[in-house]
Amino acid sequence: MTNSWADLAGRLGVDLLLDVESTPGARGRRAALATALRSAITDGRLTPGRALPPYRSLAADLHMARGTVAGVYQELIAEGWLVARVGSATRVADVARQVSTPRVRPEPPPEPAHDFCLGQPQSALFPRSDWIRSTRRVLTDAPHATFGVGDPQGHLATRRALAGYLARVRGVRTDEHHIVLTTAVSQSLELLSRCVFGDTIAVESHGLPFHREVIERFDTRVEPIPIDADGLDVDRLAASSMTEVVVTPSHQFPTGHALDPRRRAKLVDWARDHGGVIVEDDYDGELRYDRDPVGAVQGLAPDDVVYLGSASKSLSPAVRIGWMVVPDRLLADVLRAKGPRESTASILDQMVLADLIESGAYDRHVRRSRSHYRARRDVLSEIMRARGIEVTGISAGLHAVLSVPAVAEPEVLRAAAAQGFVVAGLDGFRHPDAAPLPSGGIVVGFSTPPEHRFQADVTALADLVATALANASITSTVAAKSMHLSVTDCP
């Protein structure tokens, strides 16, 4: 004969916290117990179907007579709050529902018709089987100390595995002692803002808004430096008074350009000449397609670069693991800011990542992902170019830029929003104090649409952009003719 867990727990005694000493409006302990049980049911602490402790156990816990508790149970059964069946625990009745005033919550946004959201990998690619196998291995082999307080710098084996991986794949020069594990790039920037950044730091004129938001949250002002097709204008940086800069050199966000090799050398020289700090966000450096590998700037200047990365693009945003490679001169300050014990990151997830890397599963997953995204990128490019739409910034990463005239960008975005497309405009990533780029663009994440809808969604997007550009062209032509007639008609 088998029994459910709830029945077993009911016989062994289930803990239940009830305050019968200070229940308002109750006359006597029996009335107080009845009121406390009704309150626990109405406020959701006791949900429908939940087993209550046997009356003997509850009586012992509350220092009450068994007959008193049994009487309360019978009273609530008679009122319909509880149900009792022979051979089973007394349970909360299915008809009992929470009657307290619900909190007003905003309605979730509707599902977009065509989701080209940025910065998210294809969720179906997550290596579930590899993750399960690695989890089983690390839990089986982990010493008991693993389940204690974690090292704030991160799990040692994970830092060691990452040091080898980053050296092999991204040309990063480091060891496990100079890697600090975090939950994401945002936490890494937060730590740097608290202990490294001064009053002002330079950023790319067009970039990730959260970079600026995290930094400014800690009272550091951000100063935009112009970008162009060769990346950050390092000459403009050198002409400023800045000694710290945040850059995305391998795949500038959002334009998708790599920092020109000559500018990379100039950036390193700037840091060495000014005692500066380069913060390199290598947010999707592993996902390259048809270009030669572009190594990390950190490999050129390990004493002057803080290298940032995370598992958000390669695995999933649900895996909260990020890393910093910190120069020796800044390491003590960063660790001091992080605190004496780990309070946010999952050490177990870090251990799983280390096992994925050491077993080769992580490399295999990245190669599979790269092949999948390259195929998507090619489909997007082919469909867009067939409609005369230029696609740029596609040699790496998870997004592309559809080139449109700057004056047409708002019109395309309005049309997209009206038809349920989630896309972004280049100008939306501009720092408020920066000048607009000479040409506009629609930034689309090609990893987000589900596989069964991908080609149809891309085709619909191409039709939308082509139509919006045609309408914008007609409007511009009509406006130009109207202006010409007005001028020629003047006396």
What would the pLDDT profile of 195-248 be if each residue is shown by its tens digit?
Answer: 999 999 999 999 988 889 999 998 899 999 999 999 999 999 999 999 999 999
Is 372 within the bounds of a domain? yes
Asked if the peptide bond before residue 405 counts as cis, ω within 30 degrees of 0, the response is no
55 and 170 together in one domain = no
Single-letter code of the amino acid located at 479: A
288 and 169 together in one domain = yes
* Angle (CA) 13 19 24, round 5°: 145
Predicted confidence band at 20 (pLDDT cuts at 50, 70, 90)? confident
Per-residue CA distances from 280 to 233, 306, 397 (Å): 15, 6, 16
332 and 225 together in one domain = yes
Is 120 within the bounds of a domain? no
pTM summary value:
0.80
Is 191 within the bounds of a domain? yes
CATH code, domain carrying 38? 1.10.10.10
Question: Which range marks the domain in which residue 387 is found?
Answer: 364-487
CATH code, domain carrying 221? 3.40.640.10
> pLDDT tens-digit profile of 387-434?
999 999 999 999 999 999 999 999 999 999 999 999 999 999 999 999
356 and 401 together in one domain = no
What's the CA gap between 413 and 404, in Å, rounded? 11
298 and 165 together in one domain = yes
Is 111 within the bounds of a domain? no
Q: What is the 3-state secondary structure (H, E, C) of 60-114?
A: HHHCCCHHHHHHHHHHHHHHCCEECCCCCCCEECCCCCCCCCCCCCCCCCCCCCE
Q: Residue 155: what pLDDT?
A: 94
> pLDDT tens-digit profile of 69-91?
999 999 998 888 999 887 788 89
Is 455 within the bounds of a domain? yes
CATH code, domain carrying 435? 3.90.1150.10
Is 113 within the bounds of a domain? no
> pLDDT tens-digit profile of 168-201?
999 999 999 999 999 999 999 999 999 999 999 9
135 and 192 together in one domain = yes
- Strands 421-422 and 221-225, by their bridges, are unpaired
